[in-house]
Amino acid sequence: MRRIIPSVDIRRLSMLAAAVGFVIVSAAVLGACGPTEEAVEEDTLEIVASISILADITEQVVGERAEVSYLVPIGEEPEEYEPVPSDFRAVSDADIFFVNGYGLEAWLGQLVENICRTRVVAAAEDGPTIALEGTEEPDPHLWLNPEHVRDYYLPAILAALTETDPDGEGYYRENAEQYSQKLTQLHEYISKETQSIPAGRRVIITSENCFKYYAEAYDFTCLGIWEINAPEEGTPQQIARIVDEIRDREVPAVFIESTIDPRYMESISSETGVPIGGILYSDDLGEEGSGAETYIDMMRHNTDVFVKALTD
C-alpha cells in the first residue's frame, strides 16, 4: 500500500497555477474517454481508496493482483481533506476508486466530476447507520464496527473487484473469505476483552464523537467534544458542554485521536482532572511502528487502550 505523494512542485503552486493544473488534468481525462492507445495497452489494475483504513481492507482482498493507494495522508482528518492535483490524476487513472460514502468524503464531488472510466464504489453504503446527533445525516464511521466491515464493506469490495477483473474472481473470493474469518476473530477479541470493563465505566470520550458504531456493538456510551470533524472544532461552548458531561458521569479517562490536535483534550483533561487514557486510531491507520498499521491492528490497539484505561 502506498500513498500518492504529490510532487513538491505541484504542491507549492499558487492557487491560480493549481487551478490551471486542474484544467490540464481535466482535459487529459476527457481525452482518455475515447479508446486511446494507452487504454488498450493497459492491463494492470489500479485501485485507489479515499482513506488508509479502506485501502488496507481493500488490499486484503486484492492481494497480489494490484497495488492499492490512498489519498488522505496519515494524520489528516478525512472530513476536512482538500484534494491536491495529483489526486485528480490518480483517481482518473484508477480502475476502481473506493470511498466510504455516507458523507465522509464531502470533497468527493469535485474529484469525480470529470472521470469517465473509473468505477466509484461507496463501500459503506449498504450498512445500517446511526444518525449524527441532532440531524438525520448518517455518521459515516461504520468501519469502527468490524462486523460492519465484514458484512457490508467486504461484499461491496469483492463485487467491484470481480466485476472489474473477472479473471481474479476465485482469488478474490478466497482472500475475502479468509479476511472475513479474521474480522470475526477480531469481533470476538473485542467482545471478550471489553467484558472486563465495569458497566459504569464504559464511556468513550473523544474529540470527534466517532465511536458510535463501536459503542453500539460493544455496549459503551460515547461522547465527543464535537459531533463530526468540521471547521467548527473545539469552540468554548463545545468544551464547556463536554466538561459538564465528564464531571456528571465521573468518567475514568478521556482519549485522543491520532488525526486531531491533542490540545483540545489535554486542556479538558487538566480542567477536569480526568487523565488521558491513550491515543486512538479512528480515521486513519497508524504510522510504521505504531502497532496500528492495519485495520485489524488499529482496532485491537483501540480496544487494548479502552480496557487498560477504563478497567479498575
Nearest distance, CB of residue 79 and Zn ion, angstroms = 5
Name the grid cell of 204.
468513550
Instruction: Identify the DSSP state of 262.
Output: T
β-pairing, 45-49 vs 66-70, is parallel
- Of 155 and 278, which CB lies nearer to Zn ion in the complex structure? 278
Q: Which stretch of DSSP H or E encloses residue 2?
A: strand 2-3
Nearest distance, CB of residue 292 and Zn ion, angstroms = 15
Beta carbons of 278 and 167 less than 8 angstroms apart: no
Q: Report how far residue 281's alpha carbon sits from residue 256's, in angstroms, rounded to the nearest whole number.
A: 9
- Terminal C-alpha separation, the chain: 39
- Of 29 and 210, which CB lies nearer to Zn ion in the complex structure? 210
- Of 79 and 93, which CB lies nearer to Zn ion in the complex structure? 79
Beta carbons of 223 and 239 less than 8 angstroms apart: no
Q: Report how far residue 125's alpha carbon sits from residue 102's, in angstroms, rounded to the nearest whole number.
A: 6
- Of 89 and 301, which CB lies nearer to Zn ion in the complex structure? 301
Beta carbons of 38 and 32 less than 8 angstroms apart: yes
Residues forming contacts to Zn ion in the complex (CB under 5 A) are 210, 283
Q: Which stretch of DSSP H or E encloses residue 226?
A: strand 221-226
Beta carbons of 100 and 124 less than 8 angstroms apart: yes
Dihedrals phi, psi of 63, to nearest 5 degrees: 55, -130
Nearest distance, CB of residue 229 and Zn ion, angstroms = 5
Nearest distance, CB of residue 88 and Zn ion, angstroms = 23
Q: In the complex, which residue's CB is closest to Zn ion?
A: 283
* Residue among 80, 84, 58, 82 nearest 69 (CA): 58
- Of 19 and 230, which CB lies nearer to Zn ion in the complex structure? 230
Nearest distance, CB of residue 140 and Zn ion, angstroms = 7
- Of 180 and 259, which CB lies nearer to Zn ion in the complex structure? 259
Q: Which residues, 6+ apart, have CB-to-CB distance to 86 below 8 Å?
A: 4, 5, 6, 7, 10
Nearest distance, CB of residue 208 and Zn ion, angstroms = 5
Nearest distance, CB of residue 124 and Zn ion, angstroms = 13
- Of 55 and 210, which CB lies nearer to Zn ion in the complex structure? 210
